Structure 1
């Protein structure tokens, strides 16, 4: 059930990313975009392995959506300033640390196979 929910969320993000790619140049913030993709992949891996509970997953995905919204807002005027870029990188640093902490804590998903 959770994997279907994650798959649906990933498909929604792909659709949103496609629409967003039309609105702004594709390479406007490649480093930020790549980090977002890596962090989404880390969350998905944590769900698959059972390292993340449903509640942890929901919170981490909400945090990722918040970063994406901030990125969209930063790009809305056509220019991403150094201050906006620095803010986005700090948000991603915090999100990355949160993913690490949640994946490595003692909480496990109830249906984790072999765990």
Structure 2
């Protein structure tokens, strides 16, 4: 009985971790498509694109560092979400700042 309970607990924990991980990667995928769209439409200059891509790279590194010990703490998750929101705001701001590639 204890073995079944332990197995069920581990399974639910793994599902919870993978769900938050999937949300993080889906968020990153959406941001990449927003950046690509800005480049394609000419709304982003080369330097703006470079800065935005570097922001995404730093977020990926933060996620990997947070997962390195096998557990993403509440504080780490909060910092990652904050970085993601800030990067999203930067994408919006740089796409709408009246500078274009043309």
TM over 0.5: yes
In 1, the alpha carbon distance for the partners of 2:20 and 2:66 equals: 11
Matched residues, number: 86
Counterparts in 2 of 1:75-114, with a 5 A limit?
A: 75-110=67-102
Cα drift, residue 32 of structure 1: 1.1
Which blocks of at least 5 consecutive residues in structure 2 are unaligned?
Answer: 1-16
Which blocks of at least 5 consecutive residues in structure 1 are unaligned?
Answer: 1-24, 111-115
Counterparts in 2 of 1:22-101, with a 5 A limit?
A: 27=19, 29-101=21-93
TM-score scaled to structure 2, two decimals? Answer: 0.80
Which stretches of structure 1, 4 residues or longer, exceed 3 Å deviation after superposition?
25-28
Counterparts in 2 of 1:12-31, with a 5 A limit?
A: 27=19, 29-31=21-23
TM-score scaled to structure 1, two decimals? Answer: 0.71
Task: Give the CA RMSD over aligned residues.
Answer: 1.3
